[in-house]
Amino acid sequence: MENPAQRSRMMAAVKGKDTQPEFVVRGLCHSLGYRYRLHRRDLPGQPDLVFSSRRKVIFVHGCFWHGHRCPRGNRVPKNNREYWLAKVERNRTRDKRHEHRLHSLGWGVLVLWECELRLPNLKRRIVRFLG
């Protein structure tokens, strides 16, 4: 069992950018010939991939952190349960706000979940979205 200091160090090591799921999507998009920018600060939510000429963005969400309704996303830590439930709900609310704002600015939005990256139709979804 870890103590609070160990837990704090572990949580501080969790990255918000340049994650493995992001690298998977970036590599696939690049191999398909699409070029993009990363984490544009002038757009709501700093999307993971920005296709400016197409006015489209892709967010790559971790299932736990963004509250996906899959087995991985439905896990709740045993310690400090109320904190984590509230945190994930705040993240979900913020994500919806960013997505609505992007739509109102005329941007297309695709959200890819960590658990979906292994699906065989990922390539087709990206091509359909960006095409």
Asked if 102 and 43 count as a contact pair (C-beta separation under 8 A), the reply is yes
Confidence bin at 52 (pLDDT 50/70/90): very high
Host domain of residue 39? 16-130
Question: pLDDT digits over 69-111, tens only?
Answer: 998 888 888 888 999 999 999 999 999 999 999 999 999 999 9
Tokens of residue 72, six digits = 């991985």
Question: pLDDT digits over 53-64, tens only?
Answer: 999 999 999 999
Tokens of residue 108, six digits = 């297309």
Indicate whether 1 belongs to any domain. Answer: no
Indicate whether 8 belongs to any domain. Answer: no
Indicate whether 10 belongs to any domain. Answer: no
Question: pLDDT digits over 14-47, tens only?
Answer: 666 789 999 999 999 999 999 999 999 999 999 9
* Domains in the chain, number: 1
Indicate whether 9 belongs to any domain. Answer: no
Sign for the CA dihedral angle at 121, 43, 101, 67 comes to: positive
Indicate whether 2 belongs to any domain. Answer: no
Q: What is the CATH number of the domain that holds 115?
A: 3.40.960.10
